[in-house]
Amino acid sequence: MPAIPNDRVDALRQNLRGAVLTPTDAGYDAARTIWNAMCDKRPALMVQCAGVADVVAAVNFARDNGLQLAVRGGGHNIAGSALCDDGLVIDFSRMRSVQINLATRRAYVEPGATLGDFDHEALAVGLATPLGINSTTGVAGLTLGGGFGWLSRKYGMTVDNLVSCDVVTADGQRLLANQKEHPDLFWALRGGGGNFGVVTLFEFRLHTVGPDVLAGLIVFPADEAKSVLRKYRAFVDTMPDELSVWVVLRKAPPLPFLPSSVHGTDILALPVFYAGDPAQGQALLAPVHAFGTPLGAHVGVMPYTAWQKMFDPLLGPGARNYWKSHNFATLPDEAIDAMVDYAARLPSPLTDIFIGLIGGQASRVAPDAMAYHHRDARFVMNVHARWERPDEDQACIAWARDFFRVTEPFASGSVYVNFLTEEEGGRIGAAYGPNYARLAQIKQTYDPQNLFRANQNIAPASGS
């Protein structure tokens, strides 16, 4: 790391409305703590920005002083790209505003906002856009990688609902990126991650949702998992876009609607969601209840904001996490058998195998319409290896890697970039497919020196 003279740091402080934290400052350790406890990095500087001018100053400082630059939104990314060792971190924890324009049905979201922040403001007026499933996830990182959730079958990916971005580029310029202004940059930002600049404001299209929706869980015993998954596979072909049914294989948490004897045993849970009239949703879900003999079910009308927080207890901060992910266009019998087999050998009680169902409207966008390419990714499998103690690292990581290897022959070969771990730089091409070459050209235009490389990095086309 290049030495940073104290007078330069002092000058940076004087040029900010926000704060600069160094390793000797109070609050530094709290600021560098992120969701995945596997990531323990020590930046030289953390700039807690209070506005866009602070972002410009931080970008210029990192570039001019030869510092690696990372950007922290919600700090939820599995790879820990919110931090870097010995460099400068732009910390957006002070920029979490969400503004709703009812007349235009648009949301204007600062990069430190979480899904919970967004939903709190938008659902207060019965509006939403497709986001993720964990309220503590950062809107910025989720969006820049593509973004999908319960509303994606009806309204598309998060990036399909992104209208514009305010961006600070590597040379310190402030740009507006949309379909008319810098459309090449806008194309790249919709799925290309943090490779092209620092987004300081996101504009989203909003849709009428709820605020109450039909949602819940249907839980089956593990010994019925193969049969249930085969019926599930057939059922999704008949589903309307308003209906989403996902899959989780794990140990049963102590849910109040499950008998205590079930707690801690192997289960298959089907999270269900209907973005429409609840009575119609209940009728559509009747066959799902009959996939097997449920151990318990809790499906009813609830606030959408409550459903968005439903999985928060299973994905809280402070645990050690290692993920492996595949996209699937179909779920062949061999893939289902492998999933059930490995779910019977979970390396920790916190680990699960998760399958998010997309399709619907998300599949109707052209693969080259934006950086996010994989419109045939109907099932997104994420292996959530999750545990508490460092001495469990080897066993948990080995289990996840082995499961990934066994299921690879049945996958589509693509991957959702937000689910890639730090070690998986070799899969960047799989994340973008034929769109990668264009992304590299746009990277060369906006960041030829690769300042923004603390991410799943797209190298400039020149090879710089």
> Each residue's pLDDT tens digit in the chain (464 positions)?
457 889 999 999 999 999 999 999 999 999 999 999 999 999 999 999 999 999 999 999 999 999 999 999 999 999 999 999 999 999 999 999 999 999 999 999 999 999 999 999 999 999 999 999 999 999 999 999 999 999 999 999 999 999 999 999 999 999 999 999 999 999 999 999 999 999 999 999 999 998 999 999 999 999 999 999 999 999 999 999 999 999 999 999 999 999 999 999 999 999 999 999 999 999 999 999 999 999 999 999 999 999 999 999 999 999 999 999 999 999 999 999 999 999 999 999 999 999 999 999 999 999 999 999 999 999 999 999 999 999 999 999 999 999 999 999 999 999 999 999 999 999 999 999 999 999 999 999 999 999 999 999 999 998 54
**DSSP reduced 3-state for 357:** strand
Report CA-CA distances (Å) from 71 to 114, 196, 288.
15, 12, 42
Q: Are 92 and 140 in contact (CB under 8 A)?
A: yes
Q: Is the distance from CB of 146 to CB of 431 less than 8 angstroms?
A: no
| Strands of 88-91's sheet in order across | 19-21, 45-48, 88-91, 69-72
Q: Are 161 and 168 in contact (CB under 8 A)?
A: no
On whether the CB atoms of residues 159 and 143 are closer than 8 A, the answer is yes
- Furthest CA-CA distance within the chain: 69
In 3D, which of 71, 248, 259 has the Cα closest to residue 169?
71
Q: CA-to-CA distance for 331 and 234, rounded, in angstroms?
A: 10
Question: Which residues on neighbouring strands pair with residue 53, listed in sequence order?
Answer: none
pLDDT score at 464: 44
7-91 fold: 3.30.43
CB-based contacts of 83: which residues, under 8 Å, 6+ apart? Answer: 32, 34, 39, 41, 43, 70, 72, 89, 454
pTM of the model: 0.96
Report the chain's terminal Cα–Cα distance, integer Å. Answer: 20
pLDDT of 3 reads 74
Name 109's Cβ contacts closer than 8 Å, sequence gap at least 6.
97, 98, 99, 117, 118, 139, 201, 202, 203, 204
415: tokens are 């991957």
- The topology (CATH level 3) of 212-419 is Vanillyl-alcohol Oxidase; Chain A, domain 3 (3.40.462)
Residue 446 has which token pair? 């906006």
Sheet with 162-168, edge to edge strand ranges:
98-101, 106-109, 198-205, 162-168, 174-177
Residue-level pLDDT at 369:
98
Tens digit of pLDDT for each residue in 279-327? 999 999 999 999 999 999 999 999 999 999 999 999 999 999 999 999 9
Could you tell me whether strands 198-205 and 106-109 are parallel, antiparallel, or unpaired per DSSP bridges?
Answer: antiparallel
**Start-end ranges of CATH 3.30.43.10 in the chain?**
7-91
Helices (H) and strands (E) in the chain, counts: 14, 19
- Per-residue buried b or exposed e for 423-441, using 16+ beta carbons within 10 Å of the residue's own CB: ebeebbbbbbeebbebbbe
Q: Which of 205, 202, 211, 214 is nearest to 123 (CA)?
A: 211
Indicate the Cα dihedral angle 341, 343, 345, 349, nearest 10°.
-170
Burial class (CB in 10 A: 0-12, 13-18, 19+), 337: middle
Task: Specify the domain boundaries for CATH 3.40.462.20 within the chain.
Answer: 212-419
Alpha-carbon distance 88 to 169, whole Å?
A: 16
- Strand locations in 281-394 (E): 296-303, 320-328, 352-357, 379-387
Structure tokens at 171: 């040379």
With a CB cutoff of 8 Å and minimum separation 6, the contacts of 228 are 220, 268, 270, 291, 292
Please report how the helices 52-64 and 6-14 are oriented relative to each other, as an axis angle in degrees rounded to 10. Answer: 160
